[in-house]
Structure 1
Amino acid sequence: MARAAIGWGVRDLAREAGVAVDTISRLERGEDIMPR
């Protein structure tokens, strides 16, 4: 996983991307994300 390779946690990536932690978790599990 790319974020782990640079030492980022889910919260770090979510903060930098401007999305919710749940969104990152869902993407990493391969779940569909509904656009807003």
Structure 2
Amino acid sequence: MTGCEGEKTLVIIEGNLPIKTSTLYMVGDATPNGWSSR
């Protein structure tokens, strides 16, 4: 569940940036490679 919290943190940090940018960051962080590494 820590991964979920991490994504939420990123959203808050990137809150100043446009929503689209935040979404792109989330998608990039949620890539299968990242999960596989964990």
Q: Report the TM-score, using the length of structure 1 for normalisation.
A: 0.33
Q: Comparing both structures, which one devotes a greater share of its residues to helix?
A: 2
- Greater relative contact order, per chain length (Cα 8 Å cut-off, separation 6+): 2
